[in-house]
Amino acid sequence: MKSRSQFDVSQKRTIGLINQPIVLFWLMLTLFGAMVGRLFWLQILEGSFYRKLSDENRIRLVARPPIRGRLLDRNGTVLADNRLAYSLSIQPRLVRKKEWPVLRDRLSKFLYIPKKTLESRYRNGIQTDPYRITLARDLKTDQVLRFKEQELILEGAQVDLELLRYYPYGTLASHSLGYTQPITQSEFQFLKQKGYEIRDRIGRTGVEAAYESHLRGAWGGEMLEVDAAGLVQRSLGFKPPVAGKDLVLTIDLNLQIAAEKALADKSAGAVVVLDPRSGAIRAMASRPTYDPNFFSKAFTSQKEYNDLFLSPRLPLFSRAINAYDPGSTWKPVTGMAGMESGKFPSDVRLKTTSCIKYGSHCFHEHNGEGFGIIGYEDALRFSSNTFFYQVGVGAGPKALYDAAIKLGFASLTGIEIGYEESKGLVGNEEWAATGRGWGEPGTTPWIPEDMASASIGQAVVQITPLQLARAYAVFANGGYLVTPHLAEQSIDWTSSERRTKVDIKPSTLRTLRRGLLKVVQSGTGASLNLNFPDLPPVAGKTGTAEDSTGGSDHAWFVCFAPYEASEIVIVAFAQNTPGGGSVHALPMARSILQVWNKSRTD
């Protein structure tokens, strides 16, 4: 007879055998449930993600960059074009750090690029660009062919076709045209929403930046199906890139060349050539200059960048749209203030003398003795200081400021590259009361000496060569303030929206025009006519300005022609070039007038 303990053991074994299928069932059910749950998670919840990964392994997208629109002068001559170039790059996400040395050595061996160069560019790139590192640019044809031959063992590296900006005339009009550069990582974060790729280039300055959306076009590409070895099986679709649009500029190549030559022997300066009827810019040059092809170079050293960006000569700085003391070229503005205020009508005659005292300073006549009793026309012809001291101080700062504003000073001109432009300065009582931009409010009041200086364009007046050209266009075209522009873009630039009638008395305009004509006929600008028999009547003004920043004098000359129906305004500016506007700036304008006159008589 079995003991109780033996019975209990036997019973437990029986129950265990009975429960075994149940445990196995629940174990299988749990495993099956886990599998179903995993499949549900993979297929339903994360299906799109894994399908994308699968497609990335199976499908390759070959991006095709757009061709950037060309920049053309007004006659169709190409000023900015594109050239094809091959570059070698890697995508860091496809090349693990431990794999890089092997890939580097292979690239060096097959493409004859020094290992040190590849390593240096890899290390610099890995810190700045997590998407793509460019290892070499402007590959030669044989390098591209060798890469294609060995492509299967160079996984992670690729050869890209790039379109680089090319400026066939080098430094010509560089400040107006501008340049392009690759977009930065920070820029890409918001530009990618506009269709940009990490390898894109963008207009940085000048017309290239102002008309970026017009010039850039849109990317295209081809979807290719590949096998496990990376071999192409078939094309899944092709979207052609959309080329950017060409842009016809208002610039006249011959006049631009003439402007650049006029500046060639100057250490610094600017030239602006403007059509006073519409505001079209025919030439705009600045010196020192730079070659925008610099920014399309394969690689540039830090020294090369420093020589350009940190140069004390400031070659990237456009003198044409930055402000300087205008000197006597400002006197027509003072004349306009006097006549428009009613205090000094157009027929007024004033006694000039060797010196007039304002405040604690005696303001001298430039010839040391005066010109007798004269009116506006002779005051402009002789460029009398003491005549315009009397007019400016007598009319007051408000009258001078109002006249300046009417002529477009102390504001942006409206040119497309206005983001690079200076507004300049026309000092007045309110400006002085607020601290003149450097002092505490109430500590720098307007004084009589300020008004005398302002009357002849010194110290408290700063204007740009482009602003001066725009103001003299008012005298040239019969009283209209135009909008300077570098591209027509099917816009009516003579509409009332872009060419506004200046509130100026006809008598004021006639008097100023006659005075400016006398300057060239028999005044300080008379040398313009020497050995120039077929020159049509020209009106203009010379200017010699003290540099309020402490440098040598500036030389200016501004003119418009033909006098009766003007087609051209020229501003010539030689920065820190002592000797006078008639000596240095006038010959610059004269050489440009010769080219212009020849083109209209041919």
370: exposed, middle or buried (C-beta count within 10 Å: 0-12, 13-18, 19+)? buried
Tokens of residue 520, six digits = 């060239």
Tokens of residue 46, six digits = 């994360």
pLDDT digits (tens, 9 = 90+) for 506-546: 999 999 999 999 999 999 999 999 888 889 999 999 999 99
Do the beta carbons of residue 529 and residue 520 sit within 8 Å? yes
Q: How far apart are CA 161 and CA 13, in angstroms?
A: 78
Q: Look at residue 493 and tell me whether its pLDDT is greater than 80.
A: yes
Q: Look at residue 280 and tell me whether its pLDDT is greater than 90.
A: yes
Lowest mean pLDDT among 89-103, 124-138, 164-178, 397-411: 124-138
Residue range 89-100: average pLDDT? 82
pLDDT digits (tens, 9 = 90+) for 209-226: 999 999 999 888 766 666
* Per-residue pLDDT, 248: 98
Residue keyed to tokens 């501003």: 571
* Per-residue pLDDT, 121: 87
- Mean residue pLDDT of the chain comes to 89
Residue range 566-590: average pLDDT? 97
Q: Look at residue 5 and tell me whether its pLDDT is greater than 60.
A: no
Residue range 334-358: average pLDDT? 97
* Per-residue pLDDT, 66: 87
pLDDT digits (tens, 9 = 90+) for 409-427: 999 999 999 989 999 999 9
Q: How far apart are CA 538 and CA 288, in angstroms?
A: 29
Q: Counting every residue, how long is the chain? A: 602
Residue 43 confidence class, pLDDT cut points 50, 70, 90: low
Q: Look at residue 131 and tell me whether its pLDDT is greater than 80.
A: no
* Per-residue pLDDT, 120: 87
- E-state strands within 3-156: 59-64, 71-72, 78-90, 133-136
| SS3 category, 282 | strand
* Per-residue pLDDT, 536: 94
Q: How far apart are CA 287 and CA 439, in angstroms?
A: 33
* Per-residue pLDDT, 389: 97
Nearby residues of 251 by Cβ (< 8 Å), 6 or more positions away: 73, 74, 79, 173, 176, 281, 282, 283, 284, 486
Residue 435 confidence class, pLDDT cut points 50, 70, 90: very high
Q: Look at residue 34 and tell me whether its pLDDT is greater than 60.
A: yes
Q: In terms of pLDDT, which residue wins out, 34 or 329?
A: 329
Q: In terms of pLDDT, which residue wins out, 32 or 473?
A: 473
Q: Look at residue 352 and tell me whether its pLDDT is greater than 90.
A: yes
Residue 185 confidence class, pLDDT cut points 50, 70, 90: confident
Lowest mean pLDDT among 32-41, 257-266, 294-303, 321-330: 32-41
| SS3 category, 7 | helix
Q: Look at residue 227 and tell me whether its pLDDT is greater than 70.
A: no
Q: How far apart are CA 336 and CA 327, in angstroms?
A: 16
Give the β-pairing of 133-136 and 78-90. antiparallel
* Per-residue pLDDT, 53: 44
Residue range 306-310: average pLDDT? 91
Residue 540: CA atoms inside 13 Å, Cβ hemisphere, count? 35
Q: How far apart are CA 551 and CA 330, in angstroms?
A: 20
Q: Look at residue 444 and tell me whether its pLDDT is greater than 80.
A: yes
pLDDT digits (tens, 9 = 90+) for 9-29: 455 555 555 556 676 666 777
Lowest mean pLDDT among 103-112, 122-131, 153-162, 385-394: 122-131
Residue range 67-81: average pLDDT? 96
Residue range 479-500: average pLDDT? 95
Residue range 304-315: average pLDDT? 92
* Per-residue pLDDT, 224: 63
* Angle at 421 (CA atoms; ends 432, 216), nearest 5 degrees: 155
Q: Look at residue 61 and tell me whether its pLDDT is greater than 70.
A: no
Q: Look at residue 553 and tell me whether its pLDDT is greater than 70.
A: yes
Q: How far apart are CA 201 and CA 181, in angstroms?
A: 5
* Angle at 169 (CA atoms; ends 165, 173), nearest 5 degrees: 90
* Per-residue pLDDT, 216: 93
* Percent of the chain whose pLDDT exceeds 90: 64
Residue range 27-40: average pLDDT? 68
Q: Which amino acid is at 486?
A: L
Residue range 157-166: average pLDDT? 86
C-alpha distances in Å from residue 41, one per residue of 27, 30, 54, 500, 553: 21, 16, 16, 69, 79
Residue range 66-85: average pLDDT? 94
Domains and CATH numbers, the chain: 60-248 (3.90.1310.10), 253-294+319-601 (3.40.710.10)
